[in-house]
Structure formats: structure tokens, C-alpha cells
Amino acid sequence: MEYTISKLAKLANVSARTLRYYDEINLLKPARINSSGYRIYGQKEVDRLQQILFFRELDVDLETITSIMNDPNFDHTHALQHHYDELIRKRSHLDQLIETVEKTIAHQKGEIAMNNQEKFKAFKDKLISDNEEKYGEEIREKYGDKVVEESNAKFRGMSKETYEAMEKLGQEILELLPRAFETGDPESPLAQELAAKHKQWLTFTWPSYSKEAHAGLAEMYVADERFKAYYDNKSEGGTEFLRDAILFFLKEN
């Protein structure tokens, strides 16, 4: 079956302008151009558009989608499985939010009692899920499933006050990093204050603290581009500086 651009736009509930733009950026080319100069799309293009819309639903930007889908090794079935897993994760989070809202309404009406931990459970589970998606494989390989599960359990059981204190400290670390970096010395008082705060921040969720684990995490920050980008966003080269400050701190304390 073949579709003109207007018919495909109607089928997929997108605009013809969007399809023309996808053509321009080499994301979705028509199967052919007919004698009248109209774009004609076949089943292959329909299936490709479905994949594109799945990626867009998961907030993947067009540049990344184009790079992924134009890779000759792109696996459509694997991509669909990934979409499925992500959508299930999103649905689970929405179900938790809905349940939390329902309980909160009932609590405010005086129908049930709801403790503070229950009020924030859905948000904590979302953060844990996001961290698992981004860093789970590396963290579990480095520290083991038991440590990760214990850390997640500690985070889930955190009180509102403790959670806010952890968030505040995390922000202090990000604000202190560029100031310490400006000294150019990872052994400076500011850099050592930074390392001490980082240790304190870790203890909020780590089931137990060790210098070896802290040093290993600091090295992973530098080795993993995702962590590196997070800290370098505050100061170019800040990740290496933070690592060096932590390593000196561990040696001296």
C-alpha cells in the first residue's frame, strides 16, 4: 500500500510539514517521487515513521534519532523492545503517581492516614528508575547487586527532611566545584571542603562507606563520559579536579 504525504500525515496524526522536514534532514525519505512530483511512501516508510514517533514519545531529539536510525546496524526489533520496556517503565511511574494523588486526596479528606514517606515514594522510585536506566549496569558491575539494592532501600526509606538535606548538599557541591577549581589546587582548603562534602553526600544513600569505594567512584566519574559531562558542565576539567581532590582527601583523612 502506498501513501501520498497528506495521507501518511493523516494516518500518523502528524503534519505534512513535519514529514517534509524529516525528508530534508534525511530521517524519513519517501519511497519515490511520482511523475507529478509528489512524495510517495510505502510500507517500509510507514514502519520507519512509527519508530520515529516511538523515539519522539520518549523525548529523544531528532538529531539523535537520525543518527540511530541511519546506522546500518540499526535493529528495528531491538528498538521496539527498548520502546516497550521504556513505556512500561513510564506507565509504572504514572500508576504510582496516580496512586499517590488518590491517597493524598483521601488523606486530606480524613479518610486515611498517610505518612510523609508515602507522599514522596513515587518521586523517589522515579529517581531510582532513572539512575538504573543511566548508570545501573556500570554501578552494579562495580559494586554488586546487593550494595545497589541496599542503597536503593535506604533512599526509599529516607524522610522528607533527610531527602531535602541531601538535595541541599548536592547543590552546595555543584556551587563549590567551580570556586574550588579556580584555585587550581586540589589540595587547597576549598578543594578539601568540596571532597568532604562529597563524602557526606554519599553517606546519605550508601549502606556503608569505605575509602576504597569512594576512590573507585571518583575514578569512574572521570572514565564515564556521562558523569564527566555532569561535573564538567560546571567547570571544564572539573571532573578530574574533583577526583584529585577526593583522592588527596582520602589519603589525608
The predicted pLDDT at position 115 comes to 66
CATH value at residue 20: 1.10.1660.10
Which residues of the chain fall short of a pLDDT of 70?
93, 115-124, 126-128, 130-131, 134-136
* The pLDDT value given to residue 7: 96
Q: How many domains does the chain have?
A: 3
Domain that holds residue 217: 159-252
Residue 164's domain is classified under what CATH number? 1.10.490.50
Q: Does residue 149 share a domain with residue 163? A: no
Q: Return the pLDDT at 227.
A: 79
Domain stop point among 69, 90, 121: 69
pTM: 0.51
Do residues 86 and 140 both lie within one domain? yes
Amino acid 43: pLDDT: 95
Q: What is the 3-state secondary structure (H, E, C) of the chain?
A: CCEEHHHHHHHHCCCHHHHHHHHHCCCCCCCEECCCCCEEECHHHHHHHHHHHHHHHCCCCHHHHHHHHCCCCCCHHHHHHHHHHHHHHHHHHHHHHHHHHHHHHHHHCCCCCCCHHHHHHHHHHHHHHHHHHHHHHHHHHHHCHHHHHHHHHHHHCCCHHHHHHHHHHHHHHHHHHHHHHHHCCCCCHHHHHHHHHHHHHHCCCCCCCCHHHHHHHHHHHHHCHHHHHHHHCCCCCHHHHHHHHHHHHHHHC
Question: In this structure, are 165 and 244 located in the same domain?
Answer: yes
Q: What pLDDT sits at residue 23?
A: 97
Quote the pLDDT of residue 117.
Answer: 67
